[in-house]
Structure 1
Amino acid sequence: MGIEINEYIEMGRFNSKEAGYYVLEHDAPSPDEQEIIESIPFMQGVYDFSMLLGEKVFDNRKLTVKLYRPLTSYEERKRLEQEAKEQLILNEVSAITDSWLDGCHWLGKCTSVIAEDDQSRNVLILTITFDCYPFALKDAAGYTDEFDVDYFVDGVDQWTGFFVKGQRNILLINEGVNATSPIITATGKMQLITDDGESLDIQKGQNQDLFFKLKRGENHLTIIGSGHIRFITETEVMV
C-alpha cells in the first residue's frame, strides 16, 4: 500500500494529487519590498519614501514546488511531463490552489516546468515555478452579497449588501493587511461619502474606482440614494 498523498498544488486542469505526485519541496519566500530611498545633499543619512502611500508596496513573489512521482514507466513519464507542461504553461494569470495555505490561494501564472527523469528508479520529478501576486487571497471573499439581500460572510461578521432609501450609514471592515479597492454594484445612481469627507458617485451597474480604497480596519460610509448596493473585494493576507 502506497503512502497517502496529502499535499498538492492545483491550477486550471492540473492537480498534482490526482496525477499521482507527492510534494517533495515547497518554497514561497516573502516578496521583496519596493524601496524608494533617497540621499539629499547636505543632509545627514537618507530618507525612506517607501511608505509614501501609507503602506508598503511589494514585487511579485516566486512560488516553487518540487513534485515526485514514483514507480512510473518510461512511456508514462513522457506523457505526464508533456501533460503537465501543456496544462500549466498555457494558463493565463489565474487562481492557484496550494494545500500549504489555509483558506487562501495564490494568484499568478506558471513560468517554468523542469522535468528530471530517473530511469534507474522509474521516477519523474517536476520542478514547477509560479510568478505570483505578493499577497495570498482569502478563499471567502469579503463584502460579497450573492443573494441580493443583507447577509453575513465568513471571517468578519458584517453586512455586505445594503438596501438604501434616502440615506444610510454603513460599516465595512477590511480584515486584510492593506487597503483595497472594491467593486461596487448598485441598482441605481447613488453617492458614497467616507468618514474623511471623500465623495464618490456610484452609477447604476458595476463600478470600480481604483483611487477609492477601503482602508485597513473599520470604514464608516454614508450612502445617499435609493436602491440596493453591494461591495465585492478579496481580502489580502501576507503569509
Structure 2
Amino acid sequence: MGYEFTDTQPTVMENQEKLITEGLVFGEFDSRELGWWLLERDAPSPSEKVIVETLPYMQGNYDFSVLNDERYFDNRVITYKFKVVSNPYADRKMIEHEIKRLLVPAKIDNLYDTHDEAYFWRGKFQSVTVSDDNKYQTLVATISFNCYPFAFSKNYEGSDIWDDVEFEHWVFQEVKFDVFETQKIVLINIGSRAATCKVEVTGNVWVRGEGIDLQLNQSNAFNTEIVLKRFENYFELAGEGTIYFKFRREEMI
C-alpha cells in the first residue's frame, strides 16, 4: 500500500525548535535531524511464498502455501522519497555524502517510521539515489529498505503505553504473574501471525499448556521460548515465584 504526502511544516530555523515531524530513523540516520522533508512513502504488501502442485486431468491445483493456519511471505521493500531545499551546491554535495555515509555501510537494524509510531520494521538498507536540481537548489533522495514482511510492536505486550494504544486493535492484558498456587491464565496474541515469547522467572514456576510442560527457574528460563498462536493461549501455572511473558506482536500493516 502506498502513501503520498508532503510535510509542509517549516524545517529547522535559527533559534527555533525543529518542526519537521515526518520521517524515519535507521541506525545513525534520522531524516528529521538532517533537515529532510518527507515527500512519499511506499510500503506495498509482500509477495507470498506460493507452493502449488498440479496433476494431469485435474481441475485447478493443490495449494500448500498455508501451514499451521499461517501464510508465508517474502521480504518487503519500503521506499521513501525526501527533499532538502534552499541549499547552495557545496552544501548539497555534503548532504548527499552524509546520507550515503550513514546508510550504505549500515548493518541490519530497526527501521522506525513516524507513519506507524507504535511499530518498527526490521531489515537492512538497500539503495539510495540522489537527484540534484541546481536551478531550484534542491536535492531529492529516494531510499529503499529490504525488510522482514511483518512490523513489530514497539513495546512488549502488557506495557500499554498510552500513545501507542490503538483502540480498534488492542487488548489490555496481564503478562506478569505472581505464582503461589495453581492458577489458569490466558495470553492473547492479536497479531497477524504467531509470536515468539520469552520468559523471565524468579523462583520455580511450572508452565503447562497445549504441547507445553516446562519447569522454569531463573537460570533455564533465559533460553526458553514459547510460541503463542493467534488469539487465545491457555496455560496453567504452578509452583512459587513470578513469571513474565515477554513478547511483541507481529503485524501486517
TM norm. shorter chain > 0.5:
yes
What letter is aligned with 2:82?
A: L
TM-score (norm 1): 0.86
- Say yes or no: does 1:19 pair with 2:67: no
TM-score (norm 2): 0.82
What letter is aligned with 2:85?
A: P
Q: CA deviation at 1:167?
A: 2.3
* Identity %, equivalent residues: 37
Q: Which runs of 4+ in 1 moved over 4 A?
A: none
Given candidates 93, 106, 112, the residue that maps to 2:108 is 93
What letter is aligned with 2:102?
A: Q
C-alpha separation in 2, matches of 1:207 and 1:226 = 20
Q: CA deviation at 1:229?
A: 0.9
Q: State how 1:55-94 maps to structure 2 within 5 Å.
A: 55-94=70-109
C-alpha separation in 1, matches of 2:142 and 2:110 = 19
What letter is aligned with 1:69?
A: V
Instruction: Check the 8 A contact 1:144/1:161 in 2, yes or no.
Output: no
Q: Name the SS of the counterpart of 2:195 in structure 1.
A: coil
Aligned to 2:248: 234
Structure 2 gap segments, 5+ residues each: 1-7, 11-19
Q: CA deviation at 1:57?
A: 1.0
Q: CA deviation at 1:143?
A: 4.5
> CA RMSD for the aligned pairs?
2.2
Q: CA deviation at 1:166?
A: 4.1
C-alpha separation in 2, matches of 1:41 and 1:202 = 53
- Say yes or no: does 1:202 pair with 2:228: no
Q: Deviations for 1:157-192, whole angstroms, at most 9, x for unmatched residues?
A: 111111112422112111211111101111244332
C-alpha separation in 2, matches of 1:144 and 1:41 = 55
Moved more, 200-209 or 25-34: 200-209
How many residue pairs end up in the alignment?
Answer: 228
Q: Name the SS of the counterpart of 1:83 in structure 2.
A: helix
Distance 1:203 1:36, change over 3 A: farther
Q: CA deviation at 1:197?
A: 4.9
C-alpha separation in 2, matches of 1:36 and 1:189 = 44
Q: CA deviation at 1:198?
A: 3.4
Given candidates 158, 176, 189, the residue that maps to 1:161 is 176
Aligned to 1:45: 60
Aligned to 2:147: 132
- Say yes or no: does 1:214 pair with 2:228: yes
Aligned to 2:17: none
Q: CA deviation at 1:142?
A: 0.8
Q: Name the SS of the counterpart of 1:113 in structure 2.
A: strand
What letter is aligned with 1:207?
A: N
Q: Name the SS of the counterpart of 1:213 in structure 2.
A: strand
Structure 1 gap segments, 5+ residues each: 146-152
